[in-house]
Amino acid sequence: MGNVFHEVIYQPVYNILVFFYNAVPGSDFGIAIILTTLFIKTLFIPLSKKQIESQKKMQELQPKVKELQSKYKDDKEKQTKAIMELYRTEKANPLSGCLPIIVQLIVLIAIYQVIISISRAGFTIYGPDLYAFVANPGAINHLFLQFVDLTKPNYVLAFLSAIAQYIQTKMLLQSQKNTSLSVQTKTESGPDFTEIMNKQMLYLGPGITFFVGVTFPAALALYWFVSTLFMIFQQMVIFRVKKD
């Protein structure tokens, strides 16, 4: 399994990053990371779109789900059947967003390993992992824009990544927040555990992002920041199309 991951996921990402590094004038590793991130995120637009639309659909159905939970609160079997029927009628699948998340998580792990392995090697490229058509630049310039050291943690990049993560999550949960008040007036079924979990995710995600950013080399925080900005833009486009 390790060899499959290395050859199918890790090595292509490694070569894409080195390819962009060779192609960028001035040999800026930070610019290479940005271009690699945009390239990979563009490839995964169909999967990301499916994931966002699935999450949005599930959020839109939350008021009806909560009504059914309140209606059948004393009969869990009827409650489950009613919710499944709702999903079938609305053509919604709670698991449809899982595959895109899994695929993107695997790629994220590969990018993380690539950046960490290059960093631990003293920002020197490992020749055996390169394809024949990708030139080996040898030692890599680890300064982004000539002043940001990508080998060390960077608090500014970590903070920006956390803020971007917060904005992305806030956007995704906004529609659910708008409908929660009307649902609350219709049911007194106790604490809204979905809302509680959403609030935890809203702050826990950026917190973890910041922690990772100040713990690992800034190269990883730079990737996370650009990747999250891409997702914010993609969500804005998808949500705007849905409104129109």
Mean pLDDT of 6-13: 91
Instruction: Write out pLDDT tens, residues 76-111.
Output: 788 888 888 888 887 777 666 666 677 777 887 888
pLDDT for residue 195: 60
pLDDT for residue 188: 45
Closest CA relative to residue 41, chosen from 22, 14, 10, 13: 13
pLDDT for residue 11: 94
Q: Return all residues near 12 (Cβ < 8 A) that are at least 6 apart.
A: none
- The listed range with the strongest mean pLDDT (20-24, 75-79, 139-143, 147-151) is 20-24
Q: Which amino acid is at 240?
A: R
Give the integer Cα–Cα distance in Å for 152 and 215: 9
Per DSSP, the residues of the chain read -HHHHIIIIIHHHHHHHHHHHHHSTT--HHHHHHHHHHHHHHHTHHHHHHHHHHHHHHHHHHHHHHHHHHHTTT-HHHHHHHHHHHHHHTT--TTTTHHHHHHHHHHHHHHHHHHHHHHHTTSB--GGGS-TTS----B---EETTTEETTS--HHHHHHHHHHHHHHHHHHHHHHHHHHHHHHHH---S--HHHHHHHHHHHHHHHHHHHHHHHS-HHHHHHHHHHHHHHHHHHHHHHHHHH-
Instruction: Write out pLDDT tens, residues 10-54.
Output: 999 999 999 999 998 888 999 999 999 999 989 888 877 777 777
pLDDT band at 198 (very low <50, low <70, confident <90, very high): low
Domain residue ranges of the chain, discontinuous segments joined by +: 2-243
Q: What is the pTM of this model?
A: 0.78
pLDDT score of 182 more than 50: no
pLDDT score of 219 more than 80: yes
pLDDT score of 181 more than 90: no
